[in-house]
Structure 1
Amino acid sequence: MLTPILSILLPSLLTLTPLVSAHGRIVNITTSSGNTYSGFDPAVFLKNPSSPPPLAAWSADNLGNIFVPPSSFSHSNITCHRAGTPGALHIPTPPGSNLTLTWNEWPTSHKGPVLTYLASCNASCTSVSKDALRWVKIDEQGWLNSSGWTELGGTWASDVLIKNGFSWTVKVPEELEAGAYVLRHEIIALHVANETDGAQAYPQCVNLMMGNKRIDGGVDARKFYKENDKGIMVDIHHKLDGYAIPGPKLWTAAEPVEQPNEAEK
């Protein structure tokens, strides 16, 4: 089903399909067993609006170079992008396994952290209210070092993602209660974060089915970040003493994965 904004814009956008491109979105999710699932592609939906293919990935109205700015961090759009709508399927994901999330592109100038969260929705996520989801952070990477500073801001997690073919691998925590979960994967671009409302968030969501241990607690996505957080309002054009990765602390059961090429920095 198309989201309301996408339905309204459809007539005029059908002629612009080749132009539908964001700074980045997830195109594939690959499991440890080698199965690959498609991410949400606005162009595919525009070509076949009456019967779009069912996906585990959430759909959104993120047409063109659209991002979520800090002024909208307390709005539902920060959860799974603009007007995010749950996917119709779930990706079978054994606890303790890895998922590799591949983006279609990411500009080298858009340096920033890469973050991944997980939220439980009990038996199914296909009709869950995004505002009811409570998230724990299972992976994070931010500023790695000052090498290559003349190229803008040193080495960041986004640089590692680009070097690895626009992909990022996350490990699903070993102990999760059986059930459905939403994985939220995000890059925050900081190239104009020295300006008010300058940071750019690109959250992407996908439904998973797994389990052993329940996620207790968790945070509403609308409370992840504030406009003036040190990791959001930051000037990466000058040398940093350090970088405070935004959002809640890593979940106690999180098992971050060292990315290929990360050690090279």
Structure 2
Amino acid sequence: MAAVVVPLFLAALAALSGPVLAHGGLNNYTVGETWYRGYDPNTPAADQVGQSWMVQRPWASIDPIFSVDDKHIACNDPGSPPTSYIPIQAGENITAVYWYWLHPVGPMTAWLASCGDGDCSAVDVNEVEWFKIWEAGLLEGPNLAEGLWYQKAFQNWDGSPDLWPVTIPASLKPGKYIIRHEILSIHIENKPQFYPECAHLEISGAGSAFPPKEYMKKFPGAYKADDPSIRINVYGSEDTMNYTIPGGPVWDG
């Protein structure tokens, strides 16, 4: 494994070469005190793809995906596989690190997909079945447009990274998995913006549980274009507080 224990403020120095405006993206991961490098779309791919430290599927740019039927909604574009895994025990937190994120409105979800008995690098991310392990949306009012969403609450404005912790279900059976983090921004009327990134995990533990079929989704396929939670005008919604996060229920073990 290419894990390196690095203080986060040192990791921040590497991020300064990236853009400081626009959307942002998932650049690093931490498990406990161990920091894992992710992909940087502003650095030549040849310097990153195939490197022994790479745990994240590369993503081409910070631009969003607009269509629920786009094949890149699974793990972004190009989504080519990494060569390494993040080791983590079921029940532990994995924290996604964003060095900047500016959008304030919309839900955030985290998903897992089992790679079966094989290597995750051979998995087609459009064919595997994903199950949701975490979600957060509107935290408090007064309404969808002006309320506090988790997407805004996890942001920092002091130069420190935006940290998104997710717990791997403690009862999950061990194996190789892909983790998928997605931010869905709905701040523009009827023009949803999807921001997915994926990494490879080697999950250990004594669990034996696995979600039943009703939790399983494919990307594309998990979302419908006419879903009122996706194709929405938060500024003109008559229902000022209720919001259903798309993608079905969370499986927490």
- Would you call these one fold, judging by a TM-score over 0.5? yes
Supply the AA of the counterpart residue of 1:187: I
Query: Cα offset for 1:114?
Result: 0.9
Which residue of the partner structure matches residue 228 of structure 2?
230
**Per the alignment, in what secondary structure is the counterpart of residue 235 of structure 1?**
coil
For residue 177 of structure 1, report the CA deviation from its aligned partner.
2.1
Contact 1:120 1:215 (8 Å CA) reproduced:
no
TM normalised by structure 2 equals 0.80
8 A contact 1:111–1:190 mirrored in 2: yes
TM-score, length-scaled by structure 1: 0.77
Q: Is the 8 A contact 2:57 2:75 kept in 1?
A: yes
Pick the aligned partner of 2:91 from 76, 93, 96.
96
Quick one: distance in 2 between partners of 1:81 and 1:36?
22
How many Å apart are 1:106 and its aligned residue? 0.9
The match for 1:74 among 54, 69, 77 is 69
- Cα deviation 1:130-189 (Å, max 9, x = unaligned): 122101100000111224x69x43110101211484211100011222210000001101
Cα distance in 1, alignment partners of residues 72 and 47 from structure 2: 25
In the alignment, structure 1 residue 118 sits paired with structure 2 residue 118: no
**Which range moves more in the overlay, 86-95 or 232-241?**
232-241
Check whether the contact 2:169–2:252 (CA below 8 A) recurs between aligned residues.
no
Q: Partner residue of 1:183?
A: 179
Secondary structure (helix, strand or coil) at the match of 1:169 reads: strand
Task: State the percentage of identical aligned residues.
Answer: 27
**3-state SS of 1:93 partner:** strand
Task: Return the alpha-carbon distance in structure 1 between the equivalents of residues 20 and 85 of structure 2.
Answer: 26
1:213-255 CA distances to partner (integer Å, 9 max, x unpaired)? 35343211212211111210122224623111111211151xx
What amino acid is aligned across from residue 133 of structure 1 in structure 2? Answer: V
Structure with a larger share of its residues in helix: 1
Q: 1:53, CA displacement in angstroms?
A: 5.8
Question: Could you tell me which amino acid in structure 1 is paired with residue 155 of structure 2?
Answer: I
> Mind listing any 5+ residue stretches in structure 2 that lack a counterpart?
1-16
Equivalent residue letter for 1:27: N
Work out whether residues 114 and 188 of structure 1, in 8 Å CA contact, stay in contact via their aligned partners in 2: yes
Q: Verify the 8 A CA contact 2:28 2:96 in the aligned structure 1.
A: yes
Matched residue count: 226
**Which among 136, 141, 144 is matched to residue 131 of structure 2?**
136
Aligned counterparts of 2:107 and 2:167: Cα–Cα separation in 1: 17
CA RMSD of aligned residues (A): 2.5
Which residue identity does 1:120 align to in structure 2?
A: S
Check the 8 A contact 1:45/1:52 in 2, yes or no.
no
Which SS does the other structure have where 2:230 is aligned?
coil
Contact 1:140 1:250 in 2 (8 A): yes
What's the CA shift string for 1:85-113, capped at 9, x where partnerless? 12211100111101111112111x44111
Which residue of structure 1 lines up, in the alignment, with residue 37 of structure 2?
A: 38
Question: 1:207 corresponds to which letter in structure 2?
Answer: H
Structure 1: give runs of 5+ residues left out of the alignment.
1-16, 254-265
Q: Which residue pairs with 1:170 in the alignment?
A: 166
CA offsets 1:103-128 (integer angstroms, 9 cap, x no match): 12111x44111100001002421221
Given the superposition, is the C-alpha separation of residues 51 and 173 from structure 1 closer, same or farther in structure 2, using an over 3 Å criterion?
closer
Q: Residues 21 and 55 of structure 1: is their aligned pair in 2 closer, same or farther, counting only changes over 3 Å? A: farther
Measured in 2, the distance between the counterparts of 1:90 and 1:142 equals 29
The one-letter amino acid of 1:180's match is: K
In the TM superposition, residue 35 of structure 1 has moved relative to its aligned partner by: 0.6
Structure 1 pair 116/19, CA: closer, same or farther in 2 (3 Å)?
closer
- 2:41 and 2:183 map into 1 onto residues whose CA distance is 19
For residues 19 and 124 of structure 1, do their structure 2 counterparts lie closer, same or farther at Cα, with a shift above 3 Å needed? same
Q: Which residue number corresponds to residue 24 of structure 1?
A: 24
Which residue identity does 2:35 align to in structure 1? Answer: T
One-letter amino acid of the structure 1 residue matched with residue 40 of structure 2: D
Q: Judge conservation of contact 1:118–1:135 (CA < 8 Å) in 2.
A: yes
